[in-house]
């Protein structure tokens, strides 16, 4: 079963190690198809990787980059009807047989119920972390002891901080079973391949608004969100350039020579989220018609149409995720 792996990378020295980890730890490397947008000063040598996986490589000079959503939109042009879709960040490591684990988790969720809500599940979370021991030798320490489920909730102190944008946060749960969710993480998203065509990435978002817009578009188009235990993917959360070696798109030295500055892209992104929720976008980029924003408010406790928190326990507290019966539609 083929997996299309989308990796948008910006000035990241860990990109090569991410590709190697995915290939070396896959049960079926020949079924992997990478789409890589490498926004960097120096291209990587694609010929240095194993010949089993297919790698579509797009190199972009950093000065031309318009942010992560712009890059992820470019990558989806490489999708050729692969069975599954995995989106990760370029600083990621993998456990052994990660591909089989994710496919089995997805199919297990699909088999929980005949209700249409379970027919198009998304597995997502803020994954467990890893540390860089030696960057040059690609030595890493994975936080594999932690076996909690990481749900995603809203941050109570960051609601509607910029118009309709609110921050979200990982909530650890002591359970060995999957749980229903209502938010997604752009750096760890696994779904059927049809996700690429049904919820195409909108290049008009920058950073704020990316995950909320994707979540609302997916939810209203019939996709359901789940958080599962032991996600076989690990993420580097250290953004310090001195230790991670990675520059950020909005760093002054990276942004100073661009025609359109990052804060202008961010402003456009926030407005784009407002236009999405208010129904001002053309159908290709708009919300779906399978579920509604009222359904989402019922599920999450957050009413985007009226900019209100309706239920704090649902929106902010991790206990809510444990109270939903797994094999029943949660709203």
pLDDT in tens, the chain (331 residues): 999 999 999 999 999 999 999 999 999 999 999 999 999 999 999 888 878 999 999 999 999 999 999 999 999 999 999 999 999 999 999 999 999 999 999 999 999 999 999 999 999 999 999 999 988 888 999 988 877 899 999 999 999 999 999 999 999 998 989 999 999 999 999 999 999 999 999 999 999 999 999 999 999 999 999 999 999 999 999 766 665 567 777 787 777 888 888 888 889 999 999 999 999 999 999 999 999 999 999 999 999 999 999 999 999 998 899 999 999 999 9
DSSP codes joined into one string, 186-245: TTEEEEETHHHHHS---TT--STTHHHHHHHHHHHTT-EEEE-SS-SEEE-----HHHH-
> Cα separations (Å) of 298 from 116, 222, 311, 330?
18, 15, 9, 9
Number of CB atoms found within 10 A of residue 317's CB: 16
- Which uninterrupted H or E stretch holds 85? strand 84-89
Number of CB atoms found within 10 A of residue 157's CB: 9
Q: Angle at Cα 68 formed by Cα 30 and Cα 200, nearest 5°?
A: 70
Predicted TM-score (pTM) of this structure: 0.95
Q: How far apart are CA 148 and CA 71, in angstroms?
A: 31
Q: Which domains does the chain have, with CATH numbers?
A: 3-323 (3.90.550.10)
pLDDT tens readout for residues 294-306: 999 999 999 999 9
The pLDDT of residue 260 is: 83
Q: How far apart are CA 54 and CA 29, in angstroms?
A: 9
**Coil, helix or strand at residue 2:** coil
pLDDT tens readout for residues 7-24: 999 999 999 999 999 999
DSSP codes joined into one string, 118-158: GSSEEEE---EEEEEEETTTTEEEE--S---EEEEEE-GGG
Q: Is the dihedral of CA 201, 205, 209, 213 positive or negative?
A: negative
Backbone φ, ψ for residue 235 (5° rounding) = -120, 140
Q: How far apart are CA 331 and CA 323, in angstroms?
A: 12
Q: Is the dihedral of CA 205, 211, 216, 219 positive or negative?
A: positive
329 closest CA partner among 120, 31, 183, 87: 120
């Amino acid at each position: 079963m083929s997996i299309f792996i989308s990796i948008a990378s910006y000035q990241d020295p860990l990109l090569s190690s991410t590709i190697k980890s995915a290939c070396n730890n896959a049960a079926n490397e020949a079924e992997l198809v990478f789409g890589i947008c490498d926004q960097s000063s120096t291209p990587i040598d694609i010929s240095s990787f194993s010949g089993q996986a297919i790698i579509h490589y797009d190199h972009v000079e950093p000065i031309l980059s318009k942010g992560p959503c712009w890059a992820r939109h470019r990558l989806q042009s490489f999708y050729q009807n692969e069975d599954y879709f995995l989106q990760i960040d370029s600083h990621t490591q993998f456990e052994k047989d990660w591909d089989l684990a994710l496919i089995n988790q997805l199919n297990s969720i699909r088999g929980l119920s005949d209700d249409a809500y379970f027919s198009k599940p998304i597995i997502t979370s803020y994954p467990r972390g890893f540390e860089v021991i030696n960057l040059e030798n690609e030595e890493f320490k994975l936080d594999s002891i932690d076996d909690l489920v990481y749900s995603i909730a809203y941050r109570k102190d960051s609601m509607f901080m910029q118009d309709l944008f609110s921050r979200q946060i990982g909530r650890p749960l002591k359970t060995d079973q999957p749980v229903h969710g209502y938010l997604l993480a752009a750096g760890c998203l696994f779904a059927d391949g049809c996700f690429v065509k049904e919820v195409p990435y909108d290049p008009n978002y920058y950073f704020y608004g990316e995950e909320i817009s994707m979540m609302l578009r997916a939810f209203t188009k019939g996709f359901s969100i789940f958080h599962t235990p032991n996600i076989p993917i690990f993420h580097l959360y250290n953004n310090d350039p001195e230790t991670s070696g990675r520059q950020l798109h909005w760093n002054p030295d990276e942004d100073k020579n661009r025609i359109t500055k990052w804060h202008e892209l961010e402003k456009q992104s926030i407005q784009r989220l407002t236009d999405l929720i208010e129904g001002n976008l053309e159908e290709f980029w708009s919300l779906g018609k399978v579920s509604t924003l009222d359904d989402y408010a019922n599920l999450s406790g957050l009413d985007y149409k009226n900019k209100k928190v309706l239920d704090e326990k649902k929106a902010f507290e991790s206990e809510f995720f444990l109270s939903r019966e797994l094999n029943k539609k949660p709203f």
